[in-house]
Structure 1
């Protein structure tokens, strides 16, 4: 029904505005516990396309987003990294971050190898090869949505398959988050059961919390203008 990019952009903005306006309201907070906010941001526009409300076959919104907004987002994300502050957290923090990153990078090839032992056809080849899609997942789990989109462009995975990967990304992350939250609430019992000494982790947690609080500030209009100009 709608193919005008200006109206499509307006509808996307309305979806985001609705999510941000309701996420802190008591009734909606309970809803977002079971339906993640990020899923709504992806799902509603997808439904608009699926049911023919918007037609994006000739839209230029995606080229503009990937050519202009994506590089800007990646630049701003790296601009905010305090290398000196990260190094100041100590060796254990750095080892923890690197271990998680290496685990994600190695997990993809390992998963492909295991699946290939049972059903090689699933792995695919060419532009639809499964490794291209898993590269976007690795980008997301290491550096968030901006990195995931960057990997999508670098490895040229089809957008049709990318929609399914977004669902996998969100669902797996939310399921894993349930276990993390449960473990965080019962970590003392788990530590006693395993005989683990978590004092260094507690110290690291407090150090990172203090560091985050020390650099936190409320952005003003002047800050936004300066960031826009630098970007």
Structure 2
């Protein structure tokens, strides 16, 4: 019996494929900018879902090939660059200036995600071990580590966990679906609450007068950092960013093999070169935030970092099997339980410290939604509060790598991986 030969894709050139992916991104963001019916469409269908879905469908129907060198370029260059650009803009003084309740709720949200993962895995694993099981690269906990990366930080952290833990990228579509569907259901509840927060604040016995003062403060902050970008700004940005990318790879080349040579450490995540690329890039970006380099945010550092993130997303999409979503429907139950743990913890702590609903909502979305949706949710309370979402979301990018690794290792222990 003759072996079946896989059909050849219509387009196999890396350069042409990259051009198509860039064109898809441009078309999606252009249509979103048109408003009207498009705004309603993207309100229902998140743009990031389409950035995954369209390239996945193109490879599934053999229009473009998944066998390219683009992923290597994306993970080695785009990802660490995005981490640096998204973390160098942290204004720690401004973050601390938000007050203790804002930071308490942000860190509560982070803890809820870190502990929610292993709790959800343990509950679902008690009656459906096959859902959270798997061996090697197919182990579910490895895929769920990417959800942890997304829900604590954002797309860069999610991609970092995909590579650090070596999850089978063909099964990744199911994890993306869990991430996006569950996160957007929660977003809908938060937006509903943002439209009428007073009853919730009364139940929490919260004093929301601080939010009014914060509106004025953040409006002033937002105006203070914006400026007209110059060529010199972009050249300095490129120099600092890719010097950091190079440093990250240099450290990884030294530390990874050194730890691997230690007896008993051969299977540790600490031996992964890419783990050190991610950690060093994040730490480097944080270090820059304490220097004058932080002013590059006013020239668009995080915007360029976001461009890298979406290029990453489309390239990942070319390697995803979209039809794998239907194979493990109970993964959505893992995501729902996970989010419930996060939610219950948030409201319990808010009730204890009498934090306004605004801090619950923005603290949560700074983790779960990141820079894409935290400002949107903050602006739903008041447009001047959008920078609060940005500030906390950037802090989420910084913590995402470390928190996701902690969550992943706890999930590994739960399933005995």
Shift of 1:225: 2.1
Per-residue Cα deviation, 1:86-145 (whole angstroms, up to 9, x for no partner): 122222222111111111111100000001111112221332222211111111111110
* Unaligned runs of at least 5 residues, structure 2: 1-9, 242-417
Query: Are the structure 2 counterparts of residues 129 and 76 from structure 1 closer, same or farther at C-alpha, using a change threshold of 3 Å?
Result: same
Bigger mean CA deviation after superposition, 2-11 or 212-221:
212-221
Is 1:159 the counterpart of 2:169? The answer is yes
Query: Are the structure 2 counterparts of residues 91 and 204 from structure 1 closer, same or farther at C-alpha, using a change threshold of 3 Å?
Result: farther
Residue of structure 2 aligned with 1:62, choices 65, 71, 79 = 71
CA RMSD of aligned residues (A): 1.9
Query: Are the structure 2 counterparts of residues 219 and 38 from structure 1 closer, same or farther at C-alpha, using a change threshold of 3 Å?
Result: farther
Contact kept in structure 1, 2:201 and 2:208, CA below 8 Å: no
1:119-198 equivalences in 2 (<5 Å): 119-124=128-133, 125-192=135-202, 194=203, 196-198=205-207
Contact kept in structure 1, 2:98 and 2:214, CA below 8 Å: no
Contact kept in structure 2, 1:89 and 1:204, CA below 8 Å: no
Inter-partner Cα distance in structure 2 for 1:188 and 1:199: 9
Per-residue Cα deviation, 1:135-173 (whole angstroms, up to 9, x for no partner): 111111111100100111111111012122112211112
Structure with larger RCO (C-alpha < 8 A, sep 6+): 2
1:3 maps to which residue? 12
* Unaligned runs of at least 5 residues, structure 1: none
Inter-partner Cα distance in structure 2 for 1:175 and 1:29: 18
Per-residue Cα deviation, 1:158-194 (whole angstroms, up to 9, x for no partner): 10121221122111121111111001102113334x2
Bigger mean CA deviation after superposition, 8-17 or 197-206:
197-206
TM-score, length-normalised on structure 1? 0.91
- Equivalent pairs counted in the alignment come to 229
Query: Are the structure 2 counterparts of residues 5 and 153 from structure 1 closer, same or farther at C-alpha, using a change threshold of 3 Å?
Result: same
Is 1:78 the counterpart of 2:87? The answer is yes
1:208-227 equivalences in 2 (<5 Å): 208=218, 210-227=220-237
